[in-house]
Structure 1
Amino acid sequence: MYHKQFYVFRDNKPILATIRNYTPADFNALILIQQECFPPPFPSELWWSEEQLISHVKHFPEGTLCIEVDGRLVGSMTSLLVDFDPDNPIHTWEDITDNGYIRTHDPNGDTLYIVDLCVSPAYRSLGLGKWLMLSMYEIVIEQKRMRLLGGSRMPNYHHYAEQLTPEAYIESVVLGEIHDQVISFLLRCGRMPIQVVPHYLEDEESHHYGVLMEWRNPFIQIKETY
């Protein structure tokens, strides 16, 4: 199981942080963090339920991470293993994650797929999301999987949808012409956009589009098929 400690800084003061696997004792706090992180218009039915969290720790406990700062739970990240086919990349979040229950988890899958990442808004200036992402990269390497993959929201896209296709919007974000709070963050974490997906997730701000973003295991060579 996963456990590490390190320091983050607020106003140049070091604060102890811990990343570990979450357990049933954390469920109430995790649900509250979801509500803080995804306010309306994000659909409330997509917040974690206790039943989903139980399923996470049952099917893939190694892929359930949470982060504490000074002993307070302030963020989480959830994943599952899938066998990803680059020749048929189109899917929805609901289908690949079993609507967040991850009963689609494949222990032999070649890809660590990110189901969710959230950090309490009051703690986002500490860089905790990036620390969680880096920890998932370590799991990819330790388990010898080919890649980390996940579908990103495009929450700033609704401001540009009348002028830009989703693909043109992603290109503008990559060129630094537009800032998107989610995609730009993932680029800073080393993720690469590989595919725009229509109807990926019920998300009005993104016009229901998602973009698949990949991080490849640098210790495993992957044949280019995209």
Structure 2
Amino acid sequence: MKRLLWCGGSHLANAKAIISAIHGAELSDWEPDFMETAGPRFEEATAAGRQFVVSGSVVQGGGVGDRPRDLTNYDAIVFVGQYVQIMRAYSGPTELSTAVVEEILRHIPITLTGKKKWDTLNGKRVWDDSPFYNEPLDQILQLASCPVYLIHDPHPTRAEHRATPLWMKQAYFQRIRAFCKAQRLVLIEPPIYLVTDDLATRPEFDRGDGIHMNGDYWTAVLNEELVPRLLAHG
């Protein structure tokens, strides 16, 4: 029995039912494990001092109550999302210069511009534009000896994302592809029929908040793009 470690936050949670079904069918020879490595709760834990812990080949996520995992016990690792989203670089109709875009993207997706934090005064999460270190992705890429796959966050359907100049969206994903190639990280992108010409997810796959997608979306991404690569590896 092979072992597969799934990493992520809310996108992983949204896809979990589909993942469980796949492990009961196409990936029945793979035992799944899940680790929280992204999402507001992880960011808050990091800010509170509960850092992503590394000891040799053992890692422990920043989520409250998360347990250590020895990466040598896994045959593959899959990140679902992990802050690979354009809004961590820029969003909206303002057209930036090529030089500015290149500078913003230079450290993406390891150093990000912005995270969510808890506003104790108003009792809600707010956006903080200070840099944010994508520590789990960086550390696991350095430590893992098995293949690592990255499913980038779904393209948002929100108006501010659709208003972002197309060439800037394309530049973002050119950077992501180059990063993955340099890191020997297998990038998983959605089938083209899920995506509009302006790099937004088609609205029929939106769960309703403009960021998270429904089961049909994740069924397509996992079954058509990820599973064949895992089976070819196995």
TM interval, shorter chain, is 0.3 to 0.5
> Which of structures 1 and 2 has the larger relative contact order (alpha carbons within 8 angstroms, sep 6+)?
2
Structure with a larger share of its residues in strand: 1
Structure with a larger share of its residues in helix: 2
